Homo-oligomer: A and B are copies of this chain.
């Protein structure tokens, strides 16, 4: 067996990860830009972490590329045309003629994005039976939304079957229940449509009967309902392909940046719950209308939504008082939110469209993490894997290939730029990459939007601290070295080490030579402390989980960094500051927006959706706050391993 075929075999058996999933993010390099030209579709320009495959980059951003193997390098169908000069793999040689290779044709699942690229995507040639979502997960299409076109015989005195039985007899592969609004329409639609209708079933509910054959139009929207950012993906449920993607800030932002401030708002003001519910609904609805416009789809053709959100976001969307989530002993109303009508929470889609919310493990390991576990196949991989969703509340899941344990760590706002002197969100002007060259005495900054730096976002903070530890300007305890020591050992950088008021700082960017240091973008001693507290909380979490399963740091075979922040973090920096276990950098994987991917999977496959419920039974939730050893371990983790 040739090596690459053997590799594909191993991949199929889940013994090694698919291409892309294992690709390291180039140390400190941040993101690259892919410009997709979609034949018969909408062009898009997207930014992705370096090293992600072109196939995954497209998939995550709602761009459909032919594939039957799901990006595993075996079907040879994901043909795209890239800039001339892209490396040619063995599979490319088997698939394309020399002329085609010269024109830039490559297999998208084997081409990695290591620099800015132009990508031409041909139209889909087949209607797939399966779709690729999550981290290389191949999902057989069996959505909860099912349509059946039937041509019924008219009733006669000899055949007085009821309208409903006449319909359900014809749709005999599905069990259906009907509720009143549909029953009210049924008789008229059947007769006006001359008994030729399409039954629309979601799970077991007959949600509509449409005149004629509408089986070609069935859509769903997957929502990643984040505390900060909300992402919507419109999916064509007949093909599994994404039609449009949109994101925006959660409109609840004015009530506070994290879940605790929003819970507090509800505790202080009896009207806040209604307003927060309305804002969550407005956010989802605005995105829903936007993706429908972008996709050229009537919102009434959207029959189901899947929502992955943390327990607080889920409660607020449903209008359930989140107070018990915010105070010890942190109790959820239910782990399994009921299926509701999308209209019931305020979405203007099909009037009977269902909204399914992911179940949650605990008050601080919510539906977003369960969705993420689904998308990354946490329970279906034999390797020892650590899943870390870095954020204000950091969720951690550890699997030894057999047992799954999880916990939550209160990291605070540092990773979102909060409580940091020059901190800001990951928006234009934010420093996201920092590289220090000791020999040249230079500090190179990667800035979002390639504009004048305005501040420091989470990944930039981690990079800055990591680099200063590496070069020796910060010691292992997190203290800036004395000025005289800096001047002696790093003369070219020493002048950046100064003070703002009484506090020592390191200047990252000085707009002009005479700019006052207080107007510069800098890293302060207190910023370093904030980061130490944040990363120690996370490290204490995974350290205690490792202990629980009798494992050492080195046993971890893969770390999945999830969430919008995790995806842009430099693995090398994360290791250096001790945010993740000390393992080879290649084992650290940016998993992308796995909550949104899990929501897509739930829309595309009832089987996968059931898998989320199974996960709940498999994963043990470990409450850290009542562990007596927590504080000791936390102190242990404050310093930098170097």
CB distance A187 to B323 under 8 Å? yes
**A319 in complex: contacting residue of B160, B178, B184, B332, CB < 8 Å:** B184
List the number of copies, as a whole number.
2
Could you say which residues of chain B place their CB within 8 Å of the CB of A323? 187
CB distance A162 to B625 under 8 Å? no
**A318 in complex: contacting residue of B183, B331, B362, B621, CB < 8 Å:** B183
Instruction: Of the listed stretches A128-136, A150-158, A416-424, name the one at the interface; the rest are far from the partner chain.
Output: A150-158
Chain A residues numbered 316-348 whose CB sits less than 8 Å from any CB in chain B: 318-321, 323-324, 328-335, 337-338, 340, 344
The distance from the CB of A330 to the nearest CB of chain B, in whole angstroms, is: 6
Measured CA separation A157–B324 after assembly (Å): 12
Could you say which residues of chain B place their CB within 8 Å of the CB of A335? 162, 165
CB distance B180 to A338 under 8 Å? yes
The distance from the CB of A11 to the nearest CB of chain B, in whole angstroms, is: 38
Could you say which residues of chain B place their CB within 8 Å of the CB of A362? 160
For the complex, is A179 an interface residue (Cβ under 8 Å from B)?
yes
**A184 in complex: contacting residue of B162, B165, B318, B625, CB < 8 Å:** B318
Could you say which residues of chain B place their CB within 8 Å of the CB of A428? none
CB distance A164 to B333 under 8 Å? yes
**A623 in complex: contacting residue of B160, B188, B320, B332, CB < 8 Å:** B160
For the complex, is A118 an interface residue (Cβ under 8 Å from B)?
no
Measured CA separation A329–B340 after assembly (Å): 37
Chain A residues numbered 132-175 whose CB sits less than 8 Å from any CB in chain B: 155-165
Could you say which residues of chain B place their CB within 8 Å of the CB of A338? 177-180, 183
Measured CA separation A159–B330 after assembly (Å): 10
Closest to A624 in B: B157
Measured CA separation A179–B345 after assembly (Å): 13
CB distance B162 to A333 under 8 Å? yes
CB distance B320 to A187 under 8 Å? yes
CB distance B178 to A329 under 8 Å? no
The distance from the CB of A155 to the nearest CB of chain B, in whole angstroms, is: 5
Chain A residues numbered 232-252 whose CB sits less than 8 Å from any CB in chain B: none
For the complex, is A186 an interface residue (Cβ under 8 Å from B)?
yes
**A157 in complex: contacting residue of B155, B183, B187, B623, CB < 8 Å:** B623
Could you say which residues of chain B place their CB within 8 Å of the CB of A626? 157-158
Measured CA separation A161–B335 after assembly (Å): 9
Could you say which residues of chain B place their CB within 8 Å of the CB of A183? 318, 320, 333-334, 337-338
For the complex, is A363 an interface residue (Cβ under 8 Å from B)?
yes
The distance from the CB of A226 to the nearest CB of chain B, in whole angstroms, is: 22
Closest to A156 in B: B329
Closest to A167 in B: B334
CB distance B178 to A321 under 8 Å? no
Measured CA separation A340–B184 after assembly (Å): 13
The distance from the CB of A202 to the nearest CB of chain B, in whole angstroms, is: 16
Measured CA separation A186–B324 after assembly (Å): 11
Measured CA separation A186–B334 after assembly (Å): 10
Interface string of A177-204 (1 = CB under 8 A from B): 1111001101110010000000000000
CB distance A333 to B187 under 8 Å? yes
**A333 in complex: contacting residue of B163, B332, B337, CB < 8 Å:** B163
Closest to A323 in B: B187
**A164 in complex: contacting residue of B186, B187, B319, B334, CB < 8 Å:** B334
Measured CA separation A328–B344 after assembly (Å): 39
Could you say which residues of chain B place their CB within 8 Å of the CB of A158? 626
Interface string of A406-434 (1 = CB under 8 A from B): 00000000000000000000000000000
Chain A residues numbered 604-627 whose CB sits less than 8 Å from any CB in chain B: 621, 623, 625-626
Measured CA separation A429–B158 after assembly (Å): 46
CB distance B179 to A333 under 8 Å? no
Task: Knowing A157-B623, A179-B338, A333-B162, say if A187 contacts B363 (CB, 8 Å).
Answer: no
Could you say which residues of chain B place their CB within 8 Å of the CB of A177? 338
**A165 in complex: contacting residue of B162, B164, B334, CB < 8 Å:** B334
The distance from the CB of A316 to the nearest CB of chain B, in whole angstroms, is: 12
Could you say which residues of chain B place their CB within 8 Å of the CB of A331? 155, 160-163, 187
Closest to A319 in B: B184
Measured CA separation A156–B626 after assembly (Å): 10
Could you say which residues of chain B place their CB within 8 Å of the CB of A340? 179-180
Could you say which residues of chain B place their CB within 8 Å of the CB of A180? 318-319, 338, 340, 344
Closest to A344 in B: B180
Measured CA separation A100–B332 after assembly (Å): 64
The distance from the CB of A443 to the nearest CB of chain B, in whole angstroms, is: 46
Measured CA separation A422–B162 after assembly (Å): 40
Chain A residues numbered 485-530 whose CB sits less than 8 Å from any CB in chain B: none
Give 6 pairs: A residue, B residue, CB < 8 Å, sorted on A.
A155-B331, A160-B331, A180-B340, A184-B318, A184-B321, A187-B324
Q: Which residues of A contact B (CB under 8 A)?
A: 155-165, 177-180, 183-184, 186-188, 191, 318-321, 323-324, 328-335, 337-338, 340, 344, 362-363, 621, 623, 625-626
Given A160-B621, A165-B334, 6 additional A-B pairs, CB 8 A: A160-B330, A163-B324, A163-B333, A184-B320, A187-B324, A188-B321
The 9 closest A-B CB pairs, nearest first, are A164-B334, A157-B626, A162-B332, A157-B329, A155-B331, A162-B334, A155-B329, A163-B333, A156-B329
